[in-house]
Amino acid sequence: MMTPYVVTRYYRAPEVILGMGYKENVDIWSVGCIMGEMIRGGVLFPGTDHIDQWNKIIEQLGTPSVEFMARLQPTVRNYVENRPRYPGYNFERLFPDVLFPTDSSEHNRLKASQARDLLSKMLVIDPERRISVDDALMHPYIHLWFDETEVHGPAPAPCDHALYETQHTVDEWKELIYQEVMEYGVRAQL
């Protein structure tokens, strides 16, 4: 069962707010909200409830397309279609140059235009048009930090829940944690 409370409200994607179900790129929306918040210095869509949250989104990004609305449940579509229509703002207005560091040798690859381009692909109301995780990782703004081994690394070892059901002293916990870290290092080198 999918729940609308899967994500903190300010980072909740439109498809979650509108009860459409969601896929992995729901997280792209959330990351876009956090990235935008870091640039702007404040929450992008500070809604007080799910309705206000939706209104904050469309006021800034614009009313969604007819194709998007056609995929909504009839009662939700009726509500969305009867909201005021908003053209939305371009990303130069949402994230003006003054919010970005000036070009320097240290940040010469972190261009405001690249950040805005990535945000414009992450903060897309229609999840079918939103950038995928793989494409986001290859975007010029992010690719600077891309590390193949982090993305396609080994799966974590299964968790032994029995460990948590036993009592341990502080020293025993320290030893168990140390052993786990050492084993992780060995697994990472394989």
pLDDT tens digits, 98-113: 998 876 655 555 688 9
What was the pLDDT predicted at 104?
60
Token couple for 113: 């235009």
pTM above 0.75, yes or no: yes
**Going along 16-97, which residue ranges are E strands?**
none
Mean pLDDT of 138-151: 88
What was the pLDDT predicted at 2?
47
Mean pLDDT of 37-50: 94
Average pLDDT along the chain: 88
Mean pLDDT of 36-61: 95
pLDDT tens for 161-184 read: 887 788 889 999 899 889 988 887
CA distance 167 to 127: 46
Q: Which residues have CB under 8 Å from 31's CB, separation 6+? A: 122, 136
Q: Where in the chain are the domains?
A: 9-151, 154-190
**Architecture of domain 9-151 in this structure:** Orthogonal Bundle (1.10)
pLDDT at 1 over 70: no
CA distance 136 to 29: 11
Helix then strand then coil, % of the chain, to nearest 5: 55, 0, 45
Residue 160: pLDDT band (50, 70, 90) is: confident
State the virtual CA torsion across 144, 148, 149, 154 in degrees, nearest 10. 140
pLDDT at 14 over 80: yes
What was the pLDDT predicted at 184?
78
pLDDT tens for 71-124 read: 999 999 999 999 999 999 999 999 998 998 876 655 555 688 999 999 999 999
Q: Which residues have CB under 8 Å from 73's CB, separation 6+? A: 19, 20
